[in-house]
Amino acid sequence: MALLEVEDLNVRFYTEDGVVKATNDLSYQIEAGERFGVVGESGAGKSVTSLALMRLIEEPGVVESGEIRFKGQNLLDLEYEEMRQIRGNEIAMIFQDAETALNPAYTVGEQISEAIRVHLGLNEEAAKERAIEKLESVGIPDAPQRYTDYPHQFSGGMQQRAVIAMALSCDPDLIIADEPTTALDVTIEAQILSLLEDICTETDTAIQLITHDLGVVAEFCERVMVMYAGHPVEMATVEDLYYNPQHPYTVGLMSSIPRIGDNRDRLQTIPGRMPDLIENPPGCNFHPRCPYAEEVCTRMEPPLVDVETGVELEEVASDQQTAACLEHTGDLQKGLDYTVTVREETSMEADGGVTDE
């Protein structure tokens, strides 16, 4: 049994323009201590997925169907009070923008220790002590002094560290980090990511990292799910995904990363943009933007299948690679025609499909 099992999760937003299908039959698992990445363009349903895990979807959104099993228990069946005991305690969340995630009217210390008091039942003193300990553990210097500082007295990087300390305050088993480094500059991003990695390995905490940045995923994650229009389109270990992408969308994302020493005369992009999730394209949602799309793609919705066998899996083992493209069910006639090359230091090129070192 995995730490977290999401099964056929459907989240809908009932808006005046129509029903937004934010996630569609989303299923995935995260093992204890695993670093799991969720990648996609903005609007792909990544954040909704994480809010759904915390049951924090607000009006007009609803979790329409599906199960979210955490340690075997379906979170969607819990009473409010039981769910509240899990939030911040067993599952904690790190938000994208630390500046707005902190209440400007309370000290940083108070905002950390209030969670400790609520979940661990400690008194003021003990909670303060623990909060300072956590502030120290995320690398905030002079933590006892900074405990009484207000958020605006912290720099952006320090605010993000404080938010991470808040998430760690009750030693959760799963941390959901929603673009934790997007608002930060690159040097601080690297620091924060290595901090999260240390926490993960030291305390065996699982992390679900949501990002649109494939570079961050490559650095940080062990396994990745690529999302498009509320659907998982590819799920694989980081190595498989990078060296052997099996979904055209993943391929598009990867070929649109600019690189130093690139001799292409223009930056590759994925044409068009993501549908608004109200009225999705028929068949494969990606077909209007896919260079490999054929007529069949407008008719058949591709299932998420094992890329080697082409069979839909009940339970996906953590080292298996799955993708949702008709290529893998054998329905595509021309196939996916791209090459992945890994250049050595000497820029020697290898062709013909996928080449490892």
Give, as ranges, the residues between 122 and 181 that touch other proteins (CB under 8 A).
150, 152-153, 163, 166
Least Å distance, CB 151 to other proteins, is 9
In this chain, which of 79, 265, 315, 344 binds other proteins, going by CB under 8 A?
A: 344
Peptide bond before 60: cis, by omega within 30 degrees of 0?
yes
Q: Is residue 58 close enough to count as binding other proteins by CB under 8 A? A: yes
Site map 200..229 versus other proteins, x via CB under 8 A:
------------------xx--x-------
By CB under 8 A, tell whether 315 contacts other proteins.
no
Distance CA 214, CA 253 (A): 8
Footprint of other proteins on residues 10-29 (CB under 8 A)? 11, 13, 15-17, 20, 22
Q: Return the CA Rg of the chain.
A: 22
Q: How far apart are the first and last CA of the chain?
A: 35
Pick the binder of other proteins from 25, 31, 67, 85 (CB under 8 A): 85
- Least Å distance, CB 39 to other proteins, is 14
For other proteins, which stretch binds (CB under 8 A), given 42-50, 64-72, 132-140, 184-192? 42-50
Residue range at the interface with other proteins (CB under 8 A); choices 48-56, 137-145, 303-311, 321-329:
48-56
Q: Which stretch binds other proteins (CB under 8 A): 68-76, 133-141, 293-301, 303-311?
A: 293-301
Closest separation between CB of residue 339 and other proteins, Å?
5
Q: Does 33 bind other proteins (CB under 8 A)?
A: no
Distance of alpha carbon 90 from the chain centroid: 18
Among 118, 120, 195, 313, binds other proteins (CB under 8 A): 118
CA separation for the pair 183, 97 (Å, rounded): 6
Sign (positive or negative) of CA dihedral 38, 42, 45, 47: positive
Q: Which is nearer to other proteins, 310 or 353 (CB)?
A: 353
Residue 295 is a binding residue for other proteins (CB under 8 A): yes
In the beta sheet, which residues pair with residue 19? 14
Q: Which is nearer to other proteins, 28 or 154 (CB)?
A: 154
Residues 6+ away with beta carbon under 8 Å from 170: 88, 89, 90, 92, 115, 116, 119, 120
Q: Is the dihedral of CA 309, 311, 312, 317 positive or negative?
A: negative
Site for other proteins in 239-258 (CB under 8 A): 239, 242-243, 245, 248, 251-252, 254-255
Number of residues that bind other proteins (CB under 8 A): 94
Task: Please identify, using beta-carbon distances, which residue of 97 and 129 lies nearer to other proteins.
Answer: 97
Q: Check the CA dihedral 100-103-104-108 and report its sign.
A: negative
Q: Decide: is 335 part of the binding site for other proteins (CB under 8 A).
A: no
Q: Which tokens belong to 238? A: 């980081």
Task: Count Cα atoms within 13 angstroms, Cβ side, for 10.
Answer: 10
β-strand pairing of 305-306 with 322-323: antiparallel
Structure tokens at 114: 């209030």
Q: Contact between 272 and other proteins (CB under 8 A)?
A: yes
Closest to other proteins by CB, 276 vs 312, is: 276
Q: Which of 79, 187, 202, 259 binds other proteins (CB under 8 A)?
A: 259
The backbone torsions φ and ψ at residue 305, rounded to the nearest 5 degrees and listed phi first, read: -125, 160
Integer Cα distance of 305 and 151 in angstroms: 47
Find the shortest distance in angstroms from Cβ 311 to other proteins: 26
Q: Which stretch binds other proteins (CB under 8 A): 49-57, 68-76, 128-136, 182-190?
A: 49-57
Task: Pull the structure tokens for residue 188.
Answer: 């601080």
User: What angle, 0 to 180 degrees and rounded to 10, lies between the N-to-C axes of helices 108-120 and 124-137?
Assistant: 120
